Amino acid sequence: MLKAILLYLSRQKGIQDFMLNFGVTRKVVNRFVSGERMEDGLVAVKKVNSEGAIATLDHLGEETSEPEEAKAAAGVYLNALDLINENQADTNVSVKPTQVGLKIDKKLCEENFARIIERAKEYNNFVRMDMEGSDCTQDTLDVFYSLREKYDNFGIVIQTYLYRSEKDVEDILKAGGRIRLCKGAYKEPKEIAFQRKQEVDDNFVKLMKRMLKSGIYHGIATHDENIIKKTKDFAGENNIPRESFEFQLLYGIRTELQHQLVREGYKVRIYIPFGMQWYPYFMRRLAERPANLFFFLKNFLRA
């Protein structure tokens, strides 16, 4: 119930406008968001690099409504890739399809992604196509497959709470695509998505095993220590080298776990967001873990 309420609030524009301008909230948000400027994101990247991890940089924002706005969002990523190269930062970028025009026009979204992927290719870098709500899933995959015919330096995200994800994983593997596997952070109806945590977890483990045996480099994105252990065990039992996949974790969450995985010799990538439009992302992080909400309330009451 609490998760559903928080996910509902993440879509409320009036509350978003209030929170974006409320100083106390912004101080707490700094735990989960590296800052409002691209330079803040790069500082965070360099820090995690110094701790033995790699990163993916995400400019917060979604659902642009005008073509020029979508084009400008793509421009932010072009600039980010330039700065990543100049600063020799070990990070790629993650891009939300609706941020670069998916809900305006699929062709526009594809063109903007192509610009970003081309720039990344110049620098021998990589682009991750994020996955959003289920209303965008098929359109996102359509754009992915179209671009996959031209580029191989980009991948996609699959969410294990959707029933369709097993088939999607099989299709992406056949196309040689790289996958970031996560549970999913949106509220979805029972007609299309598992509602019980155990079902989502079981599907995650099933798809993780299929991905690791594919011989393609993938990202296992979770803070769930039980799933992390099962991933380690499966890789060990099947002689899958640690360098053939990576664990992905969110900035500011379970940093002790991040450090532990690095010490154990696993490749670890930290998802580092930056930008002004942090509210929806922040609310989804509160919905994912009660500990995050407790942290927010404790600091809110201290203010």
C-alpha dist (Å) from residue 215 to 78, 210, 211? 30, 10, 8
H-type alpha helices, the chain: 2-9, 13-20, 23-29, 38-50, 67-86, 106-122, 137-148, 165-174, 197-212, 225-237, 255-263, 279-288, 290-302
Question: Region 154-175: what's the mean pLDDT?
Answer: 98
DSSP classification of residue 222: -
Nearest-5° angle of CA 141, CA 142, CA 147? 95
Run of H or E residues at 269: strand 267-274
Rounded to the nearest angstrom, the gap between the alpha carbon of residue 125 and the centroid of all alpha carbons in its chain is: 17
CB 70 within 8 A of CB 106: no
Per annotation, catalytic residue among 58, 119, 130, 284: 130
CB 210 within 8 A of CB 218: no
Q: For residue 9, what pLDDT band results from cuts at 50, 70 and 90? A: very low
CB 95 within 8 A of CB 116: yes
pLDDT surpassing 70 at residue 14: no
DSSP classification of residue 193: B
Amino acid at position 36, single letter: E
User: Percent of the chain having pLDDT more than 90?
Assistant: 75
Q: Look at residues 160, 123, 129, 125 and name the one whose alpha carbon lies nearest to residue 142.
A: 129
Q: For residue 185, what pLDDT band results from cuts at 50, 70 and 90? A: confident
Per annotation, catalytic residue among 119, 128, 178, 180: 180
Q: Does residue 130 have an active-site annotation?
A: yes
Q: Look at residues 103, 86, 216, 117 and name the one whose alpha carbon lies nearest to residue 158.
A: 216
Tell me if the domain spanning 33-277 has CATH number 3.90.79.10: no
Q: Does residue 180 have an active-site annotation?
A: yes
* pLDDT on residue 32: 81
CB 180 within 8 A of CB 248: yes
List the domain boundaries for the chain. 33-277
Q: For 261-296, what is each residue's pLDDT tens digit? A: 999 999 999 999 998 766 666 666 666 655 554 444
